[in-house]
Structure 1
Amino acid sequence: MKQNDYQGNFLSLLFIVLVYFFTRNYYSPFFWGILGLLLLLVFLKEENRLFAWVVISFFGGNFIVIYLDKFIGGMVEDPFFRVIINQILFTIPILSMCYVIKQFNKRLSFFLKKPESFSILYIVLLFIITGFLLLYFIKDGFDVFFSLFTFSLIHATVQEVIWRGILLTQMIKITSETRAILFTSLAFSVNTTLFGFSTAVLLIYLILGWIFGFLTTKYKSILPAILVHWVVLLFSSLNGWIQLPIL
């Protein structure tokens, strides 16, 4: 295995560990890990050094989101608007990572474009979504539908841009497509434990992350992953598996 492969695998695994420390509020080992990553920069090849800076900018952007969310939360009382604003704030880590990538004069993503091929999947998902929405219209009315529709769409879009659009692209450059899907899926699943650890939820999001990553690399676009992510979130909300404080 090449040195570049060793470096890429190590940085990818370090990213997963840092995500775990960050979501569990283990800030002491987290900052030691970031410090170690900064010290390693001088020994890394360019692509690996870029990924290291992307990781640092990812966490920096997330820290800004946390503090801005607390600040805005004290001024916004409506739970729906507060949750929507929180999701929009995640454009901050997106912009910070994009800025770093542009500073290296590299391409932002392989996947921020239309799918290369059309699939029956889109038609099937369209029918499923339409069925869910019709049932929900009848059951709870337009206000509930609009709230869930808006939140789910924004959340799915933002998360897929972060995890599959940017992080998966950068990880493919330093490892391989298969390993990048696995590593980003692991980090994605660990990141969902931000509000509490559950082995079952961890495994579910690990599988979902793999599916989203597979769809993204297969169709060379994050649009299928956004669509599936959106449907999963709507379905989970309709069945009460996920309680969203937006109503």
Structure 2
Amino acid sequence: MKTAYVTKSFPYLQLCIFTASIVLFQYKLFAFAFILSFGLILFLLFTSKLERVFAWIIAGYLTGSLLFLYGDKMLDALPFQHYILMIFNRNRVLLLIPILLLVYISIKFNKTAIPLLRKPDWNSQIYFPFIWSGFHSLKIKHFLVIAIMINFASFAYSIFTAENSFTMDFIIFLIGFSIINGIMEELLWRGIILSRMSELSGDKAAVLISGLAFGFSHIMLGYSIGLCLLFAAGGIFYAAITVRSRSIFPAAIWHMAMNVFMILSGLIPFPG
């Protein structure tokens, strides 16, 4: 009985280890984060018959993030023109590093690398406020439009009072960052990490924990804990709309719109 309980609860422990590793990494406690992740791998290797793919996903994410971090710093030090730095650094193209590592790990474990990279079910129902249940339900396509409109309304005052200079550099950054960062983060977080979490523990736990981890992954960017918790709430709904539509595209559209609002409001500063 005790063994069965441990086996049943262990997937949730892995999700918690993933979140803890991200928090440690964000506070630059890299050694502790890697010790935690590789300790999990060794534990599974010697004491458990449970599938080890998610343990390797944790290690792959941390390794890819470290390479991303130092690749980002190397680009800053190179004598590239402003436009090149804007495309490769500010637009977070280097997120391809952790994405490709996690794709490789998934393939090595005979998993579809990005299973939700497909046409969404726009007519699927999503409930408010609890996603699978609530006092009101909407089709995904209607929910997405309403969510973007509400987000715009919440940023409207900051957008209209911000002193944006719509130079060519600013427009390139606005469009480039919004599209590239939105796509990259959705491929990483909802396309791969959420999918692997769902296989491990089911959709509901995956939606909650992936959202929290997504929010905490912004600590190193200089955002306060309060804002990171707001990002976590957004990550939960990005994950929810992904799970309900069985596709990352609705979340990617929503994410890109949010990036536009955040840049126009100054929450994401223009590096020019």
1:110 aligns with 2:112: no
Contact 1:4–1:174 (8 Å) recurs in 2: no
Aligned partners of 1:44, 1:170: CA distance in 2, in Å? 19
Structure 1 or 2: larger helix share? 1
Cα displacement (A) at 1:186: 0.9
- Provide the rounded CA distance (Å) in 2 between the counterparts of 1:217 and 1:162: 15
Tell me which amino acid in the other structure corresponds to 1:74. Answer: A
SS in 1 for 2:267: coil
Query: What's 1:95 paired with?
Result: 100
**2:239 paired with 1:213:** yes
> 2:29: which partner in 1?
26
Residue by residue, what CA displacement relative to the aligned partner does 1:67-91 show, whole Å, maximum 9, x if unpaired? 2222222114545532431311111
Structure 1 residue 143 displacement after superposition: 4.0
Match of 2:186 among 156, 160, 182: 160
* Structure 1 position 28, deviation (Å): 3.5
Structure 2 counterpart of 1:13, one-letter code = C
Measured in 1, the distance between the counterparts of 2:81 and 2:238 equals 32
Distance 1:153 1:74, change over 3 A: same
- Aligned match of 1:199: 225
Residue 185 of structure 1 is aligned with which of 199, 205, 211?
A: 211
Relative to 1, partners in 2 of residues 1:46 and 1:200: Cα closer, same or farther, differing over 3 Å?
A: same
Q: With CA pairs under 8 Å and 6+ residues apart, which has the higher RCO, 1 or 2?
A: 1
Shift in alpha-carbon separation, 1:108–1:2, aligned structure 2, 3 A: farther
Q: State the Cα distance separating 1:20 from its structure 2 match.
A: 0.4
Tell me how far 1:123 sits from its aligned partner: 6.1
Percent same amino acid at aligned positions? 26
Name 2:128's counterpart in structure 1: none
Give unmatched runs, 5+ long, in structure 1: none
Q: Could you tell me the TM-score, scaled by structure 2's length?
A: 0.79
Two-structure CA RMSD over aligned residues (Å): 2.6
CA contact (8 A) 1:5 1:174 kept: no
Using the size of structure 1 for normalisation, the TM-score is 0.86
C-alpha distance in 2, partners of 1:173/1:227?
24
1:5: how far off?
Answer: 3.2
Which residue, 64, 68, 72 being the options, matches 2:75?
72
Higher strand share: 2
Q: Which moved more, 1:100-109 or 1:77-86?
A: 77-86
Q: How many pairs are equivalent?
A: 239
Q: 1:120, 1:35 → 2: CA distance?
A: 43
Which structure 2 residue ranges, 5 or more long, are not aligned? 124-140
Q: CA deviation at 1:144?
A: 2.0
CA distance in 2, matches of 1:61, 1:24: 16
Give 1:196 shift. Answer: 3.0
8 Å contact kept, 2:216–2:229 = no
Aligned partners of 1:44 and 1:114: how far apart in 2? 37
Following TM superposition, by how much is the alpha carbon of 1:27 offset from its aligned partner in structure 2, in angstroms?
2.5
